Chain A
Amino acid sequence: MLSLIVFLPIIAGLVILAVPSSQKQIIRIVSLLAALAQGVLAVLMWRGYNPALPGITAGANGSALGSFQFVEKLPWISLNLGSFGSLNIEYFIGVDGLSVTMVILTALISAIGVLSSWTIQKQVKGYFILYNLLASAMMGCFVALDFFLFYVFWEIMLLPMYFLIGIWGGPNREYAAIKFFLYTLFGSVFMLLVMIGLYFSVLDPVTHNHTFSLVAMASQENYIKDAILGPDNVMWRYIAFIVLFIGFAIKVPMFPFHTWLPDAHVEAPTPISVILAGVLLKLGTYGMLRINFPLFPEVFHASMYVIGIFGAINIIYGAFCALAQKDLKKMVAYSSISHMGYVLLGLAAGNSEGMTGALYQMFNHGTITAMLFLLVGVIYDRAHTRQIEKFGGLASYMPVYAGIVTVAWFASLGLPGLSGFISEAFVFVGAFSSVTTRYIAMVSVLGIVFGAAYLLWSLQRMFLGKRRADAAYDLEIGEDGHEHIHFHDWKGKIDLDGRELAMLVPLVIITIFLGIYPMPVIGMLTSSINKLVQVLTPVVLTSMN
């Protein structure tokens, strides 16, 4: 079933390949159907998921089956390498608490992205083929349990993203697209070296061959003592950790590797921004949780402090940058950087509260930021500008839009009762209770204040008050004697239309529901988080003995 979830979009892409490019509506509907089917499968998977199984490492019997769920394991490539035994790459996928929520998030955001792509008019066929390829690759990354497979999916994401930004993007799209490509490739090529190094350092506990299995790599007893990334080779383990961390941090994006993100967001079309913020950024922190930390637990312990500091910088710096933005989309992009800082801070805490908060924040950031970018897209479609100063008093003319914006904005700043609050609260509880990150957390709290500042300020400037003299729209007195808003070349409904509501309302419901009752998500994380914390801590215990 998991394979079907991963490959449904690619199948849809192949179907689209056969559809003539003039049939735009059919192409869109095929994509939507695939996304919906993927969503249904994801929900089925969620219903069948057993939250008691921890994942992370192999189960008691040495295989992944006792610990991961929906496991599919097929031999993919088997090579004879002479003195290095045989090279075995497996098609090995499965989910545990770390990935199950991400799979659901990806299915959700992909479907919403398809709806949001309805407005794309240029080269529809090519667009949806690339979009579906991207959707499959993202999903594949979250479920891959073989490092090689993970790497393949990870790299396959880059090319569609490059073209999606580069062809359907804004005026400065060439620069943004190649910048995105170069940054992420730079991060991932080092991952390739680490992957090879790990391969030569890890033995499969059952077959005693070298292996790419992330499940085997997560248990330190499977490492060869004197291999290049074995426990004796402290220096190379540190270097490998740092290199991997940078590779994932570029995706997060973590200061100072974040500069590609505002450019990419500003140039990307709305659905791609939604995918980028909603899913792609999560891959960075997911990679840390799945690969970076459990494979090098002792280095993680030594560097918790540093990760925490970078998290705090992300929170504060992102908030400051967001305060200074005139372009609404850029503001949202920086707020996204700021909010990913909470994830880093939660990870740095290293305890179950912090880690749970981080994973929950990943899910919430996905839904909330997707909402923010969709809302920016709504106004951009109408006014063809995103300058905050070109608006004013929108609340009286577009009440539904203003209402949803208010929910999204408040969710983003962490208002109690909305989902963002709970995850940030968990992060701070975790960070304060950990000795290493306590003082960092104290500084980071400031980020919430600045976050409230830029969000409320923009809300006030755009939606409250009266129309400004240089606004991007005119006011007309309608036949009923009321003032109506008029955008220059916008033929559609002034307030949100049905398609836009279909994208936004599910996200609003999720945000409110998970703010009141977070257990559906957190309940699935707990056992995996506890296991992960356990995998990460023994090093401290042994050093105390």
Chain B
Amino acid sequence: MFELPSGAEIQGIIASVTASVGFFIPEIYLSVLFMLLIVIDLVAKGRKNNLLSITTLLGLAGTLFFIYQQNALPAGELFFGMYVLDKFALFFKYFFVLSGMLAVIVTMSDEQFEREVKSMGEYYALIVSMVIGMIMMASSADLLMIFLSMELVSFTAYILTGYFKRNHRSSEAALKYLVYGAVSSGLMVYGFSLIYGLTAQTNLLKISMSLAAHGYDPLVMILATLFVLAGIGYKIGAVPFHFWSPDVYEGAPTPITALLSVASKAAGVALLMRFYYIAVPHNVKSYEDILGIDWHTLLMLLSVASMIYGNVVALWQKNVKRLLAYSSIAHAGYLLLSIIVLDELGTQATLFYLLSYLLMNFGAFYVVILIANKTGSENLEDYRGLGKTMPIAGAALTVFLVSLVGLPPTVGFIGKLMIFSALLSKGSLYMWLALIGIMTSVISLYYYMLIPLNMYLRESGNGSDAKSMNPGMIAQVLMSVLMFLTIYFGLFFAPLSDFARYSSSLFGITLH
């Protein structure tokens, strides 16, 4: 039976918690924002939605200040090793808050919300709670904390996916998401339990020490590895854990699709990196003898399968959101490439790629929303002739797609350049991975170009509506800004790249 802690121990615990709270301010602030939004919704019911969205936007912007203040703090563990604060976690805090803000902005210009739902009350609060969950995912250093934060993200994501209650595609997507999500978190928890059984530890750092010191049963370790990978793979949408993503991406409200494809994927990547870098011992070769499988090989397989499957299946898509869903599976593969390298350059490349992906993918989904506002459709065929009727939107979408292919002078090109540089800096060891990455990006050109092809090369079926469709002043400015940034950071990428480099230090491991 458990022994009751003595008074002194309790005091120690309290002291430690209060000390940790000082390092937890952005999360606390966001929780307050979450509750504030619910209260505002209750008080100001029936008023215009703008109050909520602008409060969310300002609130999230305020978080950036608190995160910025954390820059000065030393890297370390909080709450008895449950949670860490390091440059890596800070990077993701910025990242998630920014993507939350983008999601709010994108939502404000999505007219589908006005048609489908009466109240936006919980919506913005849920976005904030998802941001909290993702921030915690990127900062947790303990199996329990990982599981809790992942579930927080998942549950909010389920609700947000099904936010169009009367739209059966949205509900179907939510249910699918829930079923797949439940299975993978179940698998992941089972994997955690195996790891706990092997090491009697839940802290990642201690797990790694224990595995290195005491050795382990390779078979059990492989099983645990597979199960944990299933859970994380589901979050980043890598093959073979991707089955939910096309349906969910298509059915969910588009801002949520953007949020899932960028932020939720990034949270998975953060988690994967922390787990893979810290918990898994890298110098022990013994388990490679059995089955020849280890984390390293598994990640390579996942990456190759994602790149090939995502890019090839996207070729046949007729719906733009679905097409972008498959492309996001492929991008999960590219992200895995630079994680595999397991060094500082690789980490930097991954973080840079995430930043570029944030810019170009949010941009692409934003234009998709603006086009859907005017045409009411996300089908490739209905994009015909849009280059003439919506010139800025057409140009912007083309730039984002070119960036997703990875052509200069866009930020996506630099992202790919960094990833391949990280692979090739190891000599010819990972050359084959780079080759597959390069070949599949040529394939991706074909389906990405289907969209400009329809917009510019084909005339719209009904010649009558040649009138220009103006998506509104704010939308045009925002599109232009995103387009400009995509090109600007493609030519002068030093600030982003330096930021990625600065952030590539994880607590508990020294990368080379």
A interface residues, Cβ below 8 angstroms from B: 76-84, 123, 151-152, 155-156, 158-159, 162-163, 166-167, 173-174, 177-178, 181-182, 185-186, 189-190, 192-193, 196-197, 199-200, 227-228, 233, 236
Contact = CB atoms under 8 A, between A and B. Distances in A.
Interface string B498-512: 100100000000001
Contacts of B456: 163, 166-167
Given A81-B345, A186-B442, A193 B425 contact: no
A159 B421 contact: no
B408 interface: yes
Nearest to A236: B428
Contacts of B416: 192
Interface stretch (B247-255, B287-295, B327-335, B489-497): B489-497
A83 B452 CA distance: 41
B493 A77 contact: yes
Interface stretch (B1-9, B105-113, B358-366, B433-441): B433-441
B438 A178 contact: no
Given A196-B424, A228-B427, A185 B442 contact: yes
Interface in B457-492: 457-458, 492
A77 B492 CA distance: 7
Contacts of A167: 456-457
Given A156-B408, A193-B434, A80 B493 contact: no
Q: Is the interface of A mostly helix, strand, loop or mixed?
A: helix
B457 A79 contact: no
Nearest to A191: B438
8 contacts: A81-B501, A158-B407, A159-B398, A178-B446, A185-B445, A186-B442, A189-B441, A193-B435
B509 to A, nearest CB: 15
B445 A181 contact: yes
Interface of B: 344-345, 348, 388, 398, 402, 407-409, 413, 416-417, 420-421, 424-425, 427-428, 431, 434-435, 438-439, 441-442, 445-446, 449, 452-453, 456-458, 492-494, 497-498, 501, 512
Given A166-B457, A200-B425, A152 B494 contact: no
B124 to A, nearest CB: 38
Given A77-B492, A193-B438, A196-B424, A83 B344 contact: yes
Contact of A189 (B345, B402, B442, B446): B442
A192 B344 contact: no
A159 B416 CA distance: 18
Q: Is the interface of B mostly helix, strand, loop or mixed?
A: helix
A159 to B, nearest CB: 6
B446 A155 contact: no
A38 to B, nearest CB: 21
Contacts of A151: 408
Contacts of A156: 408-409
Contacts of A199: 421
Given A77-B492, A77-B493, A79-B498, 8 more contacts: A82-B501, A84-B425, A163-B456, A182-B442, A190-B438, A193-B434, A199-B421, A228-B424
Q: Which of B345, B441, B457 has the most CB of A within 10 A?
A: B457
B504 to A, nearest CB: 9
Closest 6 CB pairs of A and B: A152-B408, A166-B457, A189-B438, A155-B408, A196-B424, A228-B427
Nearest to A83: B512
Contact of B407 (A76, A77, A155, A227): A155
Nearest to B501: A80
A77 B445 CA distance: 27
Contacts of B458: 174
A166 B449 CA distance: 11
Contacts of A177: 457
Contacts of A181: 445, 449
Nearest to B343: A83
B345 A196 contact: no
Contact of A193 (B345, B420, B442): B420
Contacts of B492: 76-77
A204 to B, nearest CB: 17
Given A79-B494, A228-B424, A162 B449 contact: yes
A196 B498 contact: no
Contact of B345 (A82, A228, A233): A82
Contacts of B493: 77
A189 B398 CA distance: 20
B423 to A, nearest CB: 8
A361 to B, nearest CB: 30
A100 B458 CA distance: 40
B308 to A, nearest CB: 15
Contacts of B409: 152, 156
Contacts of A158: 407
A185 B407 CA distance: 9
A167 B425 CA distance: 41
Given A151-B408, A236-B428, A192 B457 contact: no
Contacts of B388: 123
A182 B446 contact: yes
Contacts of B498: 79-80
B345 A84 contact: yes
A177 B454 CA distance: 13
Contacts of A84: 345, 425
A10 to B, nearest CB: 12
B425 A159 contact: no
Given A182-B445, A186-B442, A193 B424 contact: yes
A162 B445 CA distance: 12
Contact of A228 (B417, B428, B452, B512): B428
B375 to A, nearest CB: 20
Nearest to A79: B497
A245 to B, nearest CB: 17
A412 to B, nearest CB: 33
A123 B428 CA distance: 48
A196 B449 contact: no
Contacts of B501: 79-82
Nearest to A189: B438
A82 B408 contact: no
Contacts of A227: 427
A192 B449 CA distance: 20
A121 to B, nearest CB: 15
A78 B497 CA distance: 10
A513 to B, nearest CB: 39
Contacts of B420: 192-193, 196
Contact of B457 (A80, A152, A173, A228): A173
Contacts of B497: 79
Nearest to A235: B428
A178 B344 contact: no
B344 A82 contact: yes
A244 to B, nearest CB: 14
Contacts of A77: 492-494
B384 to A, nearest CB: 12
B266 to A, nearest CB: 22
